[in-house]
Structure 1
Amino acid sequence: MTSLGADAPCFSQDDFSTLAARHHGLTGALTPLVSERDQNMLLRTQDGRAWVLKIANANEDPALIDAQIAALRHIQAVDATLPVPEVRPTTDGADSVLITAPDGRRHRFYAVSYLEGEIAGSCDLGPADYRRIGAGIARLGRALRGFTSPALIGRRLVWDLREAGAALAKADCLPAGAPRAEVAACLDHVVREVLPRLARLRAQTIHGDVHEHNLILGTGNAIAGFIDFGDMIHAPLVFDIASALGDFITRPEGAAGIMSALVEGYNSVTPLEEEELEVLYDLMLARQATTMVILAYRIAANPDNPPYLAAHGFGAPEAFRALHAMGRGAATALFRRACGLSGSATPAPVAELLERRKRVMGSRPYVFYDPPLHMVKGEGVWLIDATGRRYLDCYNNVPIVGHCHPRVIGAIDRQMRVLNTNTRYLGEQVLDYAERLGALTGGELTACAFVNSGSEANDIAWRMARAWTGNRGFLCQDFAYHGITEAIEAVSPSAIRRGQSPDHVRTVLAPDGYRGPYRHGTPDLGARYAADADRAIASLAEAGLKPATVIVDSAFMTNGILAPVPGYVGALFDKVRAAGGLCIADEVQAGFGRMGEHFWGYQHHGVTPDFVTIGKPAGNGHPLGVVLTRPEILDHFCEQTAFFSTFGGNNVSAAAGLAVLDVIADGDHVRRAGETARSLFAGLQALKARHPIIGDVRSAGLAFGVELVRDRADLTPAPEETERLINLMREEGLLVGSEGVHGNIVKMRPPLIFEAEHADLALEMMDRALARL
């Protein structure tokens, strides 16, 4: 590791003049430049062109000089607009030459262009300048991310924050009056708590030392140059912004504003990841602590010749004290706000959040569990609350390929950085997405209307059906749910708390073979349930109406997750079509392979609807809704109305939708969902055999209904026990919901990425909760 001392070369000005003429053909006026470990000289020729002549420290590995030169050329090739020095070849065409000092030590000598401007340390800087600097540091990191050199990997450098232990060992060098105890505590925390976490962070070649004396500013404080690549290392990417934060904030006043602006600018180019934000404060403080220790060590070793750092105001104990007093929580909250994230570093009590919610979101909060959970993060099949506890998510159907899937996030991020506009402009993404969706229907429904949610999709399908048929009647299942618009709430009886369905709506029996009027084992069960549509259609006729459409959730989720009953949906559709209506398959919850084997839920019923509607899972949580139908139906609708959705089908939504389809296809998740569903279903059946309160277990693929009863003979519902069981499972770390007209059905809808190991874990948690019930 480079020692705490500098040991810089000491050549005369005449030596520089001779070397410049001999190796680069340069002559002109020379001016010494400050450097920590090397020796630099500015040479300005008669034509005004300026060059920096550099003599590297004899202790420096020649391969490191080669790496610096190669990195400068790499940056210019990758991002030509980034101002970095240009390497001047020698008269022999080499990048550098070896020279010998009077003491016999060998040094590398080379020349780079001088970047005109003022060092940032001598400029008055405001928030806009710091944001620009933060963005510039991020751009520099992006330009270097494809550059590697063996000389930089494993390089040990005293300024590397991973060497905090070496600085800690020398903390007693700090003079009286310095914050010695705080510095030692900071470095000790970094060694014990922070360094072990660094292996999980993004790492690459970084500049490693962008501070106010290695940054050149031009007119209007525009960035005119990044200089001094002598501290390049392969290290966690966050080190660059952490070191800059530690070095730019040398005064306690205005520290918060500088911190916020630097991070905001950096994040605008390279978004900081959660784990990077969690250690940023510690790394920033460690940079300041390390600087003070190195400075104190060098002054103690050579008190008559204060080093470069002391002469330029580094190692400010007042700033360190102020930032140390600010604390990790406040600083991290500031960083998070600068990144556009929630600034809450210490989670607020659940009761406090609940009261705030009641004040601004209505006095009847619709939340899960008692007490509610405060979730702050999602990862795949897991949700993580504000205390850091992980919960296995078997309820949220929206993130169908898992919470925060990196492929979907990446697609959204990339597209958002390029373009996000509406479909009144031509674009390829929405066309690619529409074509792929249509192909997944077997080419039967190829015309798409894009909106932002499943509710809107169902609303538009209803309007299309009315336009096509000229009818006004609407059919749905008892206790169904299809959305929140006025038209669709009318066919969502499970959401209607008071009153009754509107006059144009009729409900039909859901095919519940466990609790309904016709039970499993009854001959022609599907036909018997479908016959109820005759009653509903006749009732509409008595009111002078005909059905425009019937809407069916292919998995009958709100009815308690009903496994497909052979022949039921087909017979229902036939009856509605014979009466002049069309058929909607609501695939918001049942589609995208959730039911296994087939991509769409309706395919499990052997039917072809006139409309397929999707929402929520289509974008893995990104607002995306689509109506798929026949081209002639869409054309007829558009002839009658100027249909347009500003955000429907925008570039980012289409990119999210395409990414979800890619993840499902590439991961073979439709087939795998079926396998996991069969395994989990068998496990739930085993639980039923052990726990009498379970009356029935149903599976519509990777969606399960576990119905609780107090008596299996008379099927007495157990809603109170269901609510208690759900909270007990939450205590075990398993998240599920409840469903059904009696509120006695445990609903489980894990994401498609659920594996056998997750299913086994869920069954163990449920078994323990049932034992506690």
Structure 2
Amino acid sequence: MTNFDFLAQPSALPRPDVTAADAQAIARDRFGVDGTPTELGSQQDRNFRIDGPSGVFVLKVANPVFSADELAAQNLAMGALHDRGVIAPRALPGLDGSDLQRVELGGERLIARLLTYVDGDPLTGEGELSDAQLRSLGDIAGRVAAGLTGLEHPGTERSTQWDLRIAGEVVDRLADHVAQPARRRLIEEATRGALARLEPLRDSLRIGVIHGDVTDDNIVITGADIDGTDVPAGVIDFGDVSRGWIVAELAVAVASALHHVPGEPLRALETIAAFTAHQPLTDPEIEALWPLVLLRAAVLVVSGEQQVAVDAGNTYAAENRAHEWLVFDVARRVDPDEVESLIRWRLRRDAAACAPLPLFDLGFDDSDVLDLSVTSHRLDEGRWLEPDIEARLLTETGRSNGRAVTRYGEFRLTRAVPESAAATPTLALAVTARVPEGTRVHAPVSGMLTASGDDWVLSSPGLDVWFSGLVPLDAAAREVAAGDPLGTTETLTVQLSRLAGHRPPAFVRPGAEPEWRALSPDPSPLFGIGLAAPEEDPDALLRRRDASFARVQEHYYAHPPQIERGWRHHLVDTRAQTYVDMVNNVTAVGHAHPRLVNAVRDQWALLNTNSRFHYEELSDFTSRLAELAPGPLDTVFLVNSGSEAVDLAIRLAQTFTGRRTILAVREAYHGWTVGADAVSSSIGDNPRALETRPDWVRLVESPHSYRGKYRGPGAAAGYLADVAAQLAALDDAGPDDAGLAGFIAEPVFGNAGGVMLPDGYLAGAYELVRERGGVCIADEVQVGYGRLGEYFWGSEQQGVIPDIITVAKAMGNGHPLGAVITTREIAERFAAEGSFFSSAGGSPVSARVGLTVLDIMRDEHLQENARIVGAHLAARLDELAKRFPTIGAVHGLGLYLGVELVRDPVTLEPAGAEAARICDALLAEGCIVQPTGDYKNVLKIKPPLCLTVEAADFFADALERVLSD
């Protein structure tokens, strides 16, 4: 039988059919060991722990595709490592003296081996690994790699699916087993990228016998003190022993560490450093390491999916899939150039550099520093997205000052990439100066000046100075002394490196900032000025917030990014990472709209006071609102928020009718003021809501078309019958002033995630209320004002005209602005309560904001955009719902949508915890979305109305990837 060749074999390798009884008989009859068998996990073999009077052993029954030579080579490798002090199992002879026992089970010829048992706890179940554990993983992998050096055996000449030399072919062959298209595309794209980086290195990578599977599954901690610096560890499972790339031994170990440190993947540097203490890496191996980590992750996931498909009972393979996908996801998000530089730095710390001299005979000062950070006003109005904006701003500043210079250590907004599913390199490790043409550049240190492509490097002990844009005095390499002229420039980029002969990336992703600052230090001293940007610390800011801001005013996410800029439908944090904003219905026309910014600035420069003064903006704005309102609603009150609007609407109804009782819908949220909170009954916002309603509030059944009491075509009739019964009971009880004043409901169930009310529900409810002289209030704070696309007001969808409309949020695009729109009759009756006044409601600035928002919505056709993009996004979400049973329903209309998540599509058990995890995962994908509803299981999707089809697709693709996990 020849050795195994994965590419020449059928790809399906189900485990041999071996029962526990078979294992017990083999151990007893072939090895003389009697004991109780317990099956252990394996991808393709059968492994059993045998506990008996003579000790504990492991019986391995190999997959029949593996030859005796291959198994003999594994035994040899175990023995070689054991002889060199590595804790490893040993193969024991059978009763006939052979350590390979041929057995026949069910007509299949198999080979069994009995191994000594290595006692200890595997790293797999350890959760987040300490630095000591990460080093232990690298230490044992390095000792294994060193211990197998020079080993030769014909059984190692094999080709398994784990041989990273054929990783591309393995992924091609098995990728179809990844059922979800989005996941499959990710695997294929990542594999192509890794192979492209690896191709020029293949012939330079050393080959030898490797274990091939030194992972957290196969490392056992044999010492008690896992927090110490010296953690004794053993290695098991030699089933993948073969010839391969030596650096692959480390790649496998690093990949296995990643799911233990998903938030800090660069902590795997501990594993790498520990490995190289025993098995140093060559330069090509350092360069190849991360592409191999990514290939290992890709092979793991496609192999896991394939193994489960062909061997449904393989719980070991099935249970491993979750962390294998996590390993892949973490690995693909790490930039290989960045990690290569960090590895080189970690492994090769050079001597300290001498103090450098200035580059120029120019006196830079603070006015010359160009701010390219997230909060720079030089980048307002979306200028940060313009091509070559950095060069143009440098030129502008240079022309006005005679010189200009960028900052080191700055997270540059100009490097931000909208709609990016992974972190983008924004941290500047280089500095660029704009100086008068022909300015002479002096050597900051003594050393050798040599060309590197179009760039130049000045190499000195402990420090390399890299130049882009230098016009040298002499094109030949030469020795220079500190202060000597090097050449001239107009625009010069300078970067320092403490890695001899290696230039780190000029921009890197957030994370590992201390390492980057040590590897590529601040070149500011070369300019004679402190240029470094202040270091950001979002966690410290969060602690300050919690110290002074009432914590009941919650924030999104346990560890939120510090958001300091918005643009259209994007948000940007202080590290210049962008997010598609899928939740900000307040910002209807988009963040930082230039027309709105300028309108507020201009009005504030003229006048801002209160509505008791006489000015044009108030009349213009209220007239526009009255024109937009349906039917007889022609009178406007202006307030500061939706809560105030609802509060005022309730008072209007009570005053107009002379009665107190307000009918409200269960599960609704209307606001935080005393009146608005009284009619809010969402237990998602207030767990005691149903117990604490005042006696003047009566609740009717939630007309929830998905999980409510009545569903289907007759749902409205059922709910209306309940409303009628409740109103009849109210008719017969209490004094006249306790009778029905009004009914309040959202025309679309916004708090539940955009659930559409059953057709005819509001029309029937309004009729029942008006029969008793009650007032009908439509709370349009969330769902109205063009958001539904098909309709400007949500009540239009239900075919009704309310007596009072409340609106806010979208009116001010983030400015505190709300309104109550009603009839003149209802408004005038309120005079019995005295005059009404809101200090900021209807102020000149507020009115100008409201007018400008309406102008932008009209001129940019945002209601139509909500219709088109909303329909496109809803179709994408509906398609996902067909493939992912976790999506119970897609609610809503236009750009007010909700994705309801359930654990069971029949019982509709809410998936609240899953929704929270999905929102966290979507943040990592570059999307901000949050859960809503009484069970916090609905993803509320209510972005700025300027959302594009491309951004909608970006969100849908991200959700598909997250749901696939």
Structure 1 length as normaliser, TM-score?
Answer: 0.58
Give me the whole-angstrom Cα distance separating, in 1, the residues matched to 2:413 and 2:542.
25
Give me the whole-angstrom Cα distance separating, in 1, the residues matched to 2:601 and 2:746.
32
Q: CA deviation at 1:626?
A: 0.9
Match of 2:655 in 1: 467
Task: Render the CA deviation track for 1:506-552: whole Å, top value 9, x for unaligned.
Answer: 1112221221111123x3x2232223222433454434421212111
Give 1:623-772 correspondences, 5 Å limit.
623-772=816-965
Secondary structure in structure 2 of the residue aligned to 1:559: coil
Give me the whole-angstrom Cα distance separating, in 2, the residues matched to 1:574 and 1:517.
22
Give me the whole-angstrom Cα distance separating, in 2, the residues matched to 1:237 and 1:450.
48
Secondary structure in structure 2 of the residue aligned to 1:705: strand
Match of 2:692 in 1: 500
Q: Structure 1: 5+ residue runs without aligned partners?
A: 1-176, 204-233, 247-272, 276-281, 297-319, 330-344
Match of 2:536 in 1: 347
Amino acid at match of 1:550: F
* Residues 897 and 940 in structure 2, CA contact (< 8 A), matched pair in contact too: yes
Match of 2:531 in 1: 327
Give me the whole-angstrom Cα distance separating, in 2, the residues matched to 1:740 and 1:290.
61
Q: Structure 2: 5+ residue runs without aligned partners?
A: 1-354, 383-391, 405-411, 415-428, 443-523
Match of 1:243 in 2: 401
Amino acid at match of 1:529: Y
Amino acid at match of 1:751: P
Task: Render the CA deviation track for 1:383-419: whole Å, top value 9, x for unaligned.
Answer: 1112111111111110011111111112111111111
Distance 1:274 1:244, change over 3 A: farther
Amino acid at match of 1:348: D
Higher helix share: 1
* Residues 434 and 446 in structure 1, CA contact (< 8 A), matched pair in contact too: no
Match of 1:531 in 2: 721
Distance 1:381 1:182, change over 3 A: same
Distance 1:236 1:658, change over 3 A: farther
Give me the whole-angstrom Cα distance separating, in 2, the residues matched to 1:644 and 1:546.
28
Q: CA deviation at 1:241?
A: 11
Match of 2:623 in 1: 435
Give me the whole-angstrom Cα distance separating, in 2, the residues matched to 1:520 and 1:242.
70
Amino acid at match of 1:180: P
Q: CA deviation at 1:564?
A: 3.9
Secondary structure in structure 1 of the residue aligned to 2:782: coil
Amino acid at match of 2:799: G
Give me the whole-angstrom Cα distance separating, in 1, the residues matched to 2:856 and 2:573.
26
Match of 1:250 in 2: none
Give me the whole-angstrom Cα distance separating, in 2, the residues matched to 1:770 and 1:401.
30
Give me the whole-angstrom Cα distance separating, in 1, the residues matched to 2:399 and 2:777.
53
The structure 1 residue matched to 2:708, chosen from 498, 516, 532, is 516
Amino acid at match of 2:687: R
* Residues 881 and 888 in structure 2, CA contact (< 8 A), matched pair in contact too: yes
* Residues 370 and 727 in structure 1, CA contact (< 8 A), matched pair in contact too: no
* Residues 358 and 526 in structure 2, CA contact (< 8 A), matched pair in contact too: no
Secondary structure in structure 1 of the residue aligned to 2:709: coil
Match of 1:616 in 2: 809
Distance 1:626 1:745, change over 3 A: same
Give me the whole-angstrom Cα distance separating, in 1, the residues matched to 2:399 and 2:782.
43
Give me the whole-angstrom Cα distance separating, in 2, the residues matched to 1:571 and 1:515.
21
Give me the whole-angstrom Cα distance separating, in 2, the residues matched to 1:643 and 1:763.
46
Amino acid at match of 2:907: D
* Residues 511 and 562 in structure 1, CA contact (< 8 A), matched pair in contact too: no
Q: CA deviation at 1:700?
A: 2.7
Amino acid at match of 2:743: V
Secondary structure in structure 2 of the residue aligned to 1:707: strand
* Residues 356 and 526 in structure 2, CA contact (< 8 A), matched pair in contact too: no
Task: Render the CA deviation track for 1:200-226: whole Å, top value 9, x for unaligned.
Answer: 7899xxxxxxxxxxxxxxxxxxxxxxx
Secondary structure in structure 2 of the residue aligned to 1:711: coil
Secondary structure in structure 2 of the residue aligned to 1:517: coil
* Residues 377 and 384 in structure 1, CA contact (< 8 A), matched pair in contact too: yes
Give me the whole-angstrom Cα distance separating, in 2, the residues matched to 1:473 and 1:538.
13
Give 1:110-121 correspondences, 5 Å limit.
none
Amino acid at match of 2:693: S
| Cα RMSD, aligned residues only | 4.0
Match of 1:421 in 2: 609
Task: Render the CA deviation track for 1:615-663: whole Å, top value 9, x for unaligned.
Answer: 1210111111111111121122124312111111011111111111111
Task: Render the CA deviation track for 1:168-195: whole Å, top value 9, x for unaligned.
Answer: xxxxxxxxx99633768979xx99998x
Greater RCO (Cα-Cα under 8 Å, separation 6 or more): 1
Match of 2:673 in 1: 485
Task: Render the CA deviation track for 1:452-494: whole Å, top value 9, x for unaligned.
Answer: 1111111111111111111101121111111111111111122
Secondary structure in structure 2 of the residue aligned to 1:583: strand
Match of 2:358 in 1: 180
Match of 1:125 in 2: none
> Share of identical aligned residues, percent?
36
Task: Render the CA deviation track for 1:343-402: whole Å, top value 9, x for unaligned.
Answer: xx432232x233222221234551212322321111111111121111111111100111
Secondary structure in structure 1 of the residue aligned to 2:939: strand
Distance 1:193 1:433, change over 3 A: closer
Give me the whole-angstrom Cα distance separating, in 2, the residues matched to 1:408 and 1:714.
48
* Residues 678 and 693 in structure 2, CA contact (< 8 A), matched pair in contact too: yes
Amino acid at match of 1:469: T
Q: CA deviation at 1:571?
A: 0.9
Secondary structure in structure 2 of the residue aligned to 1:449: strand
Match of 1:333 in 2: none
Distance 1:535 1:386, change over 3 A: farther
Give me the whole-angstrom Cα distance separating, in 1, the residues matched to 2:580 and 2:661.
42
Amino acid at match of 1:513: S
Distance 1:433 1:356, change over 3 A: same
Give me the whole-angstrom Cα distance separating, in 2, the residues matched to 1:193 and 1:653.
32
Match of 1:73 in 2: none
